[in-house]
Amino acid sequence: MDRRNEAVSDGTVARRAFLRWTAGLVGAGVLTTSGLMSRVLGEMPRSAGADSPAPGGVPSDAPAGKSKLELARFPEKTELILLTDRPPNLEMPAKYFVHDLTPNEAMFVRWHIGIIPTRVDLAEFRLKVGGHVESPLSLSVDQLKKDFEAVTVVAVNQCSGNSRSLFTPRVAGGQWGHGAVGNAKWTGVRLKDLLAKAKVKPGAVEVSFGGLDSAIIPVTAQNPGTPDYVKSLQIAKANDADVIVAYAQNDKELPMLNGFPLRLVVPGWFATYWVKALDEINVLDKAFEGFWMTKAYRVPKGDPKVNESPTDLAKETVPITEMVTRSLFAFPLGGEKVPAGQAVEVNGLAWDAGKGIATVEVSADGGKTWNQAKLDPELGRFSWRRWRYPWTPAAGKHALLCRATSAAAETQVERQWNRSGYARNVIERVEVEAG
Amino acid sequence: MKRAIILSAVLGGAVCAWVGGARVRAAEGVAPAQIQGSVRRIELPEMGNGWPEGPGKDVVEVQCGVCHSGRYLTMQPTFPRKTWEAQVEKMRKVFGAPIPDQSVPGIVEYLMKVRGRE
């Protein structure tokens, strides 16, 4: 159940981009002295809400149901839950879990560093494949579409930190509810086909991926700066036929905020690898040592359930990779009212890293007894799968639970915690009232 | 422009889905990207800098607000002082925020005031 509760308050005001302005500052070398920053920031236009006591309106530590979430509209996006505006982090409201394929305008948005692409000229844009290869490539999106076989995969795109706000004790980071996840049909070209065309040299061990986003505080000799968002895959994974460079999301161009024009899609793996606005693929003859692999997005080593104790943190960590088996409710949602004495169809979604969902069980009595839900046909092994369960509730309060088990016998846990709030796979519970 | 918005609303109507008895209209009021020839462009909304009132706000607006808005703070639950101290250090050491030593205590006080718990 979500700790937070949705309430509408649209603070969106159209205007020009602060990011471009800040980028200009960096270019002009102004950002290195705080005095100048202060002066220029003081000239920033303010809008209503800038001076209110809690502008985000998101006291996430409030008791369940007491907090208010702010909604906002960004370009090409429907009304989404506003976590942060700059850089944008937007969550899909739970009502969209009724869709088997998440509409593009509802897909969550997650950017890490300050300057994100807001303008792309396809006449200039090139995807570069280089590094430890015989024949480096520089490809336009048109060339990519013309010269390589198109492949399509339906796959769940889920942020590593999805549902982080439900961890107890709470952890710092993007305070997502359940909506940092969506499922879409991705079309593009196989990464392995690009690598084959570029002729990877013997001795390649990893491949790194960078996008058009960049840091406001660049790395210089004087300042460590903000590490560019670059991820890597080991060479065997990069040559996995499932990994694609996608140019279409549900048969349409990707929304700019979801990575137009190209996005790496690593089915079954968390979205941290799904590099947006992908423009640089680099084959490496040694392990990649960038911050976003060696310091961030890491989980306790050796625990498939991604668990550790707050009082005894794991000594060793490894990069997060595959998603863990989990399930969610689409109907009813927590706090929703259902009619008493009438049959309703409880339904929801379940997914894993690609082995497939074997069973989903539902408990309508707080976990005392469990019954199997009926599964809809599979849309693909990397897609989520809808489950349905008929239920006729008596009047009163009920706790509904769901738990999925994968074809690899992975199931969900009763309790879970890790320092970064990653890979939540706790048995889902919603409280509903029939009356 | 207006025509594009109407068109997208119509298309959105076609994406309506009936699942589990609930109907969700997907694309209503979605602002399209601006396309001119080979150029695709969006304009991000301005939403204020988002830093709540508090002692030291002016310093935080400068030192922290360079890279992100105040919502990065206001979306967080409350944390003890040592967590906020660690966060400030992380911003300096890991993300390269050029925060001078003398600014650190004031920033931590502000974070404690807005999202702190002793």
| Chain A residue with minimum CA distance to B98 | A32
Q: What is the mean pLDDT of residues A332-342?
A: 96
pLDDT tier at A67, thresholds 50, 70, 90: low
Cα A122 vs. chain centroid, distance in angstroms?
25
Residue B22 has pLDDT above 90, yes or no: no
Q: A48 or A416: whose pLDDT is higher?
A: A416
Are the Cβ atoms of A118 and B46 closer than 8 angstroms? no
Q: Nearest Cα to A420, choosing from A176, A251, A182, A149?
A: A176
Torsion of CA A139, A141, A145, A151, to 10 degrees: 100
Q: What is chain A's Cα-based Rg?
A: 22
Q: How far apart are CA A398 and CA A192, in angstroms?
A: 50
* B40 close to A (CB below 8 A): yes
Residue A57 has pLDDT above 90, yes or no: no
Dump pLDDT digits (tens) for A389-416. 999 999 999 999 999 999 999 999 999 9
Show the DSSP H helices in A34-101 as ranges.
Answer: 34-42
B93 neighbourhood in chain A, CB within 8 Å: 224
Q: Which residue, chain included where needed, has tokens 């205007």?
A: A15
Residue A47 has pLDDT above 80, yes or no: no
C-beta of residue A271 within 8 angstroms of C-beta of residue A102 = no
pTM above 0.95, yes or no: no
* B82 close to A (CB below 8 A): no
pLDDT tier at A219, thresholds 50, 70, 90: confident
How many CB atoms are located within 10 Å of the residue A96 CB? 21
Q: What residues form DSSP beta bridges with A356?
A: none
How many CB atoms are located within 10 Å of the residue A113 CB? 19
Nearest to A96 among B24, B43, B63 (CB): B24
Per-residue pLDDT at B27:
62
Could you tell me the strand order of the sheet in which A127-131 lies? A137-139, A127-131, A278-284, A206-211, A230-234
| Chain A residue with minimum CA distance to B52 | A53
Angle of CA points B99, A216, A53, to nearest 5°: 65
The mean pLDDT of chain A is 87
* B6 close to A (CB below 8 A): no
* B19 close to A (CB below 8 A): yes
Which H helix or E strand runs over A128?
A: strand A127-131
Which residue spans within B12-93 are E strands per DSSP?
17-19, 22-24, 34-36, 39-41
Dump pLDDT digits (tens) for B34-61. 999 999 999 999 999 999 999 999 999 9
Give CA separation, B111 vs A137, B52, B57, in Å.
48, 10, 9
Per-residue pLDDT at A22:
37
Q: Which residue, chain included where needed, has tokens 């969610």?
A: A328
Angle of CA points A93, A97, A98, to nearest 5°: 125
Q: How far apart are CA A202 and CA A429, in angstroms?
A: 50
C-beta of residue B50 within 8 angstroms of C-beta of residue B69 = yes
Query: Do the bridges between strand A278-284 and strand A127-131 make them parallel or antiparallel, or are there none, so unpaired?
Result: parallel
Q: What residues form DSSP beta bridges with A157?
A: A182
Residue A26 has pLDDT above 60, yes or no: no
User: Half-sphere exposure of residue A268, counting CA atoms within 13 Å on the CB side?
Assistant: 16
Q: What is the mean pLDDT of residues A285-311?
A: 95
Dump pLDDT digits (tens) for A230-271. 999 999 999 999 999 999 999 999 999 999 999 999 999 999
